[in-house]
Amino acid sequence: MTINVLLVEDHTVIRKAMIGLLEAHPGLTVTGEAGSLAEGRALLQDADLADGGRHTVLLCDVSLPDGSGLRLAEAARRDLPHLGIVILTMHDDDKTLLEAVDVGASALVHKSAPAEDVIEAIMTVDANPTSFTARGLADALRRARDTPQVNLTLRENEVLQLIAGGASIGQVGRTLFMSESTVKTHVSKIYAKLGAHNRASAVRSALALGLIND
């Protein structure tokens, strides 16, 4: 049986190389490709997909130009419970891995992994879409158990990454297509969860908790 893959990757050269890699493997075919979160959402809402006949596995990068691929995975799991979902990431951190679990992904593979790992993940999640597999999962779960938890929403995390990088409230709003008042509400919630009273203390707390990279 052929496994039909929907590939969401923003870098055109990488996306085309991955298509060639996947289609060179017997039993795999790429039935859709997208370079952004919006394009991926449109393909997931396709009428043929709604009938369950077009794509069987979503292969999606975390870092997309208009948002996190984890948001696409979350929507896909909600609307298409039998779809296998493989997340690709350049981030070697517990937070990304555990968020992938939380949004209902089936597997997470680091972009530095051998091509065979990607193929194996696709085949595994096609057979078991509601399971989860990733290297280092047990260690990440143990560290999460032993570390004080701060549970930011995906949107709060996006805002945190931007303000930690020095973006103003206005810049955050333009980047995430939100009003300044909405951004301020998210920032207030972030400060409250981190026990912070300003941007500097929020960044210090986020660094200590591993929510952002140094």
pLDDT tens, residue by residue, 82-94 = 999 999 999 888 8
What is the C-alpha to C-alpha distance for residues 40 and 42, in angstroms, rounded to an integer? 5
Fold of the CATH domain 154-208: Arc Repressor Mutant, subunit A (1.10.10)
Edge-to-edge strand list for the sheet holding 107-110: 28-34, 3-8, 57-61, 84-89, 107-110
Q: Which of 49, 45, 68, 59 is nearest to 7 (CA)?
A: 59
Taking residues 112-126, report their average pLDDT: 94
Kindly report the pTM of this predicted structure: 0.68
CATH code, 3-142: 3.40.50.2300
Band the pLDDT of 3: cuts 50, 70, 90: very high
Instruction: Give residue 122's pLDDT.
Output: 96
In the chain, ranges of CATH 3.40.50.2300 domains: 3-142
Instruction: Give residue 200's pLDDT.
Output: 85
Instruction: Give residue 162's pLDDT.
Output: 94
Cα radius of gyration (the chain)? 18
- According to DSSP, the residues that pair with 144 across neighbouring strands are none
What is the C-alpha to C-alpha distance for residues 60 and 23, in angstroms, rounded to an integer? 16
- Per-residue pLDDT tens for 59-88? 999 999 999 999 999 999 998 989 999 999
Between 199-208 and 180-194, two packed helices, what is the crossing angle to 10 degrees? 50
Report CA-CA distances (Å) from 25 to 30, 32, 54, 164, 179.
11, 16, 19, 42, 46
Instruction: Give residue 52's pLDDT.
Output: 47
Instruction: Give residue 49's pLDDT.
Output: 47
How far is the first Cα of the chain from the last one, in angstroms, to the nearest whole number?
A: 46
Q: Which has the higher per-residue pLDDT, 206 or 140? A: 206
In the chain, ranges of CATH 1.10.10.10 domains: 154-208
